[in-house]
A and B are shown apart, each in its own frame.
Chain A
Amino acid sequence: MSEILLTTTVGSFGKPDYLQKARNANARGKVSDSELHDLEKKATEEWIRRQEDIDLDILVDGEMYRGDMVAYFAERLDGFRLGGLVRSYGNRYYHKPVIASKVSRPKPMTVDWFRFTQGLTDRPVKGMLTGPYTLLDWSYNEAYRTRRDAALALAEAVRQEAEDLERAGAKYIQIDEPAIHARPEEIDIAIEAMAVVTQNLKAKTVSHICYGDFAAIYPKVLELPVDQLDLAMHNYEYRWLKLFDEHPFTKELAIGVVDVHSHRLETVEEAAEGIRKGLKYVSADRLLPHPDCGLKTRTVEESLDKCRVVVDAAKKVRAEIGSRAVPVQA
């Protein structure tokens, strides 16, 4: 492990066949919740070992227990009901939640999983949350008069969860906002809501943003109160970096250097070139290579291959820079 170009991932990994089958069987009532939970823990441990074997620096739990990044929280927050199936793209569908009444958090939603996962490794594991603006934007709102009202109510629930994660020992807390550029005119709402979430946190805060018009919210997005922005870059041929010429990037940058929606495996040199592009704008101690987005749409093997490319590319560029290896502590 190194103190520069720390490698990480965005959050989700491909689920192994046995877990996918168990999830399907659980939905049909053929596998109990307890049996499914055991298999989710097994798959999570496997992914921790794989991440260690690959030599990723900052780990994730892989979200073996989640189907969708919004539905998971909607199922655990009071005020939501789960809607019917809606198509996302191609032949992929998800249950889009409905904010049906005032939202509140009856109990922690991810803390037990964080404790379990962090207990499996000495490397830091990120606490993984979905941000309030994305929870709002990817749900139907029937309960709140304005979108701002809904976002701020959701922010309070996410704040409670983030602070519980910090109390449980999380050094990194990622609060994903992939929908933040859906309505650029609402960026102030997203910033205001994130300020509620992070106001008391000492942990390093990260927000992942992907698939949308990043240019429409830059440089305003630099006001988002987090330490690190985690951006899909490879899929956009690194065009967002050019924005940094006019308005310098002021946060840590987690930079996507492989595409997660393609079966094609990038070469190490291709990913290394992406890192070099990022280094023109952000110093190596503030640049974190990773895949563009979560890898849940890829198979286990594809996920592994993509991560290996990221790690090998980081090692290659570190060697070019001539860094000394220094371990990262959990």
Chain B
Amino acid sequence: MNTTVVGAYPKISDEHQELRRALHKADRGELDDASLAVAFDEATEWAIGELADVGIDVINDGQIRWDDLLAPFAKAWRNCERGPLERFYDNNTYFRQPIIKGPIETDGQTLVRDFTFADGKLRGRAHLKAAVCGPLTFATLTAEDDHYKDLEARTLAIADALAKELAGLGAAGAKIVDVEEPALAAHPELIDLERAALARLAKGGVTVALYPYFFPIDKIIEKLDVPPVGILGVDVRSRETSPKAIERLGAWKGTVSLGVIDARNTRIETPRETGELVDAALKQLRDERRLILSTTTGLEYLPHDVARKKLNALVDAARAAKGVPA
């Protein structure tokens, strides 16, 4: 049973604060862009090294350059800007709301350099996947839109831009691209719009792993069977009602990435706890090849030392599921 992570990894630890210091220096005008880029690369190499060394099978690049889930795109896309700060769902973490001034345009290369860099540094120690924000998440968290007439038009335009990003990442070697879509879990009533947006992502030509996290998704699982979604991330820990989703997994035909490790609380899961969730999921899926174990969301919501323990708990959960002693 494979393991994977979702979202951002901590950018610093108690021992590794080089990136934090570099950003402070850059903010004061004491560090140029090239030197800051080196600091980002070094932090990325550190993060992917930790993810791979602990034994995670499919990793991302830790999203070290991402200020927030929307930032890489709001920065890179033409006619987009980053606007006022806002709280990111139910987290004490903040993001800058996008502002759309005109038609969104992209060359599809926004993340290609970072993916290629991480892949080169990984040297086969783990599989590397890419990630983008979800179209509905970007669209619903936009603060101002001077161009698109409504949420539907904005969401679909963002999906078209993301399809170009997926195509660019696919050409760079990405086989799987996570689409992080908390807005879908927060707004299940927008499922039809999400389906239309996901269908447009098919133009990207890669397998999409859809991660609607933070909120329960039991009511919409059966409606997510839309190409190119091959993997569905199911957060079963964020809320007391989140595990209900497991009972509905029979309606899903693809692979499930089961979020058994809570990336937003410090208590470390035991193999027994994760094992119960795995058993319940397998009763629905009936094929362990269709099950991946993962964190619920990005481990950056935790201090680095706890994030490391969570990675170990994830690896232990997979070993226990395979009957391998910890």
Chain A residues within CB distance 8 Å of chain B: 83-91, 93, 96, 98, 137-138, 140-142, 146, 179, 182-183, 211-212, 235, 259, 261
Contact = CB atoms under 8 A, between A and B. Distances in A.
B107 interface: no
A103 to B, nearest CB: 16
B55 interface: no
Nearest to A235: B84
Contacts of A140: 265-267
Nearest to B17: A85
Interface stretch (B86-94, B188-196, B314-322): B86-94
Interface string B213-227: 000000000000000
A91 B95 contact: no
B24 A137 contact: no
Interface in B89-131: 89-96
Interface of B: 10-14, 20, 23-24, 27, 67-68, 84-87, 89-96, 240, 265-267, 300-306
A25 to B, nearest CB: 17
Given A83-B303, A86-B301, A212-B87, A142 B266 contact: yes
Contact of A91 (B27, B90, B92): B27
Contacts of B67: 89-90
Contacts of A259: 84
A183 B239 CA distance: 10
Contacts of B304: 84-85
A183 B90 contact: yes
Contacts of A87: 10-12, 93, 300
Given A83-B306, A96-B303, A212-B87, A138 B12 contact: no
A137 B93 CA distance: 12
A212 B301 CA distance: 18
Given A91-B27, A212-B87, 5 more contacts: A85-B304, A88-B94, A89-B67, A90-B67, A140-B265
Contact of B20 (A91, A137, A142, A146): A91
A86 B303 contact: yes
Nearest to B94: A89
A259 B90 CA distance: 22
B90 A182 contact: yes
A274 to B, nearest CB: 15
A125 to B, nearest CB: 27
B213 to A, nearest CB: 15
B185 to A, nearest CB: 13
A1 to B, nearest CB: 32
Given A85-B303, A259-B84, A211 B94 contact: yes
Contact of B90 (A83, A137, A142, A235): A137
Contacts of A98: 266
Contacts of B23: 90-91
Nearest to A179: B92
A86 to B, nearest CB: 6
A138 B306 contact: no
A91 B68 CA distance: 11
Contacts of A211: 85-87, 94
B18 to A, nearest CB: 12
The CB with the most chain A CB atoms within 10 A, among B27, B85, B305, is that of: B85
The 8 closest A-B pairs by CB, nearest first: A84-B303, A89-B94, A182-B90, A140-B266, A91-B23, A142-B267, A138-B92, A211-B87
B267 A88 contact: no
Nearest to A100: B266
Nearest to B92: A138
